[in-house]
Each structure stands twice: as C-alpha cells, then as structure tokens.
C-alpha cells in the first residue's frame, strides 16, 4: 500500500511521518557513503556522534550527498583525486586509510593506488608519498592483498 505524499516547502509529509529536506539529504548521503566507504566510513560518522554531530551531518549530507554523488566523475576517479589530495596535504593518514579502502571498494587495484602515490611524490614530495604508501601497505595487509609488486 502506498501513502499519498505531499511536499510543502522544506518538508515532505507521508502519512504519519514528516521528513525535512535536511533529513532527505542525510539519508541520500548515507546511502552514497555506505556504497563507497563501507564500514570504514560509517565508523567515522559514528565516532563524531558525541563530539560533533553537525560535522558528521555535513560530511554525509554535503560531502557524500552533494559532492560524491555528482555525475561529473565516477566513484573510481573521485577516489583517485581524493588519494592525491590527501597525500599532498600530508598528516591525513587516518583519512587515507578510509579512502584507500574506498578506492578498493570502487574498483581501483592495489597497483593503481601505489602508482597514484608514486605519481604524487613528484608534486608533494617523497615523505608524503611514503606516508601514503605505508598506509596503503597496512590496508592491503588487512585485506590480504600483499605483496603488490
């Protein structure tokens, strides 16, 4: 049985429940986050619950619901960009761990991920590329993907 849906402004009324645009964006973002990051992404969002639930909401609703779900790049390409940026920034090893897992989830191979870090070394320097590569080694070991070379 389907319920009649009425949309007024920022809310959608469906029978007994009322969803705001904010809730819809969050739900859409969670679906995208779970498809790309899997459990690792969900753990990050859960960890923010008692310190900054608003940051968790924005990461999900905006970061995944708006940015990651745009049609201009496929998830595989978005992860390559993300890995390059996190490597160049440096000091982002926890985020690299999540996004290396995500990169594997969306079809990048361990060899492609390592090649991306090697490529980044020319722009961001060896220390940052080494840090990223060692995070990848940890993730690959956890997933039984070593040796790569």
User: What pLDDT, on a 0 to 100 scale, did the predictor assign at position 2?
Assistant: 32
Segment 12-39, tens digit of pLDDT? 555 556 789 999 999 999 999 999 999 9
The answer to whether residues 63 and 79 belong to one domain is no
Task: Give CA–CA dist 34/11, Å, rounded.
Answer: 25
Contact 96, 132 (CB under 8 A): yes
Is pLDDT above 70 for 3? no
The answer to whether residues 78 and 144 belong to one domain is yes
99, two tokens? 């996004």
Angle between helices 75-89 and 93-105 (to 10 degrees): 160
Segment 46-88, tens digit of pLDDT? 999 999 999 999 999 999 999 999 999 999 999 999 999 999 9
User: What pLDDT, on a 0 to 100 scale, did the predictor assign at position 19?
Assistant: 86
Among 21, 95, 123, 86, residue whose Cα is nearest residue 29: 21
Task: Give CA–CA dist 75/116, Å, rounded.
Answer: 16
pTM for the model stands at: 0.84
The answer to whether residues 66 and 47 belong to one domain is yes
User: What pLDDT, on a 0 to 100 scale, did the predictor assign at position 12?
Assistant: 54
Per the structure, the count of domains in the chain is: 2
Task: Give CA–CA dist 126/73, Å, rounded.
Answer: 28
User: What pLDDT, on a 0 to 100 scale, did the predictor assign at position 42?
Assistant: 96
Residue 146 within any structural domain of the chain: yes
To which H or E segment does residue 37 belong?
Answer: none
Cα four-point dihedral sign 45, 106, 78, 86: positive
39, two tokens? 């459990």
**What's CA 37's distance to the chain center, in Å?**
5
Q: Residue 7 pairs with which residues in a beta bridge?
A: 12
18: domain range? 10-70
**Greater pLDDT, 107 or 19:** 107
The answer to whether residues 91 and 131 belong to one domain is yes
User: What pLDDT, on a 0 to 100 scale, did the predictor assign at position 16?
Assistant: 56
């Amino acid at each position: 049985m389907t319920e009649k849906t009425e949309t007024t402004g920022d809310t959608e009324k469906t029978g007994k429940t009322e969803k705001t645009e904010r809730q819809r964006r969050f739900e859409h973002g969670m679906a995208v986050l779970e498809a790309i990051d899997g459990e690792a992404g969900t753990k990050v969002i859960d960890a923010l619950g008692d310190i900054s639930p608003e940051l968790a909401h924005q990461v999900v609703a905006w970061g995944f619901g708006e940015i990651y779900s745009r049609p201009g790049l496929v998830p595989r390409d978005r992860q390559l960009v993300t890995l390059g940026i996190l490597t160049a920034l440096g000091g982002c090893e926890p985020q690299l761990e999540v996004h290396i897992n995500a990169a594997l989830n969306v079809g990048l191979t361990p060899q492609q991920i390592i090649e991306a870090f090697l490529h980044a070394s020319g722009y961001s320097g060896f220390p940052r590329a080494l840090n990223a590569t060692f995070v990848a080694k940890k993730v690959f070991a956890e997933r039984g993907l070593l040796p790569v070379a």
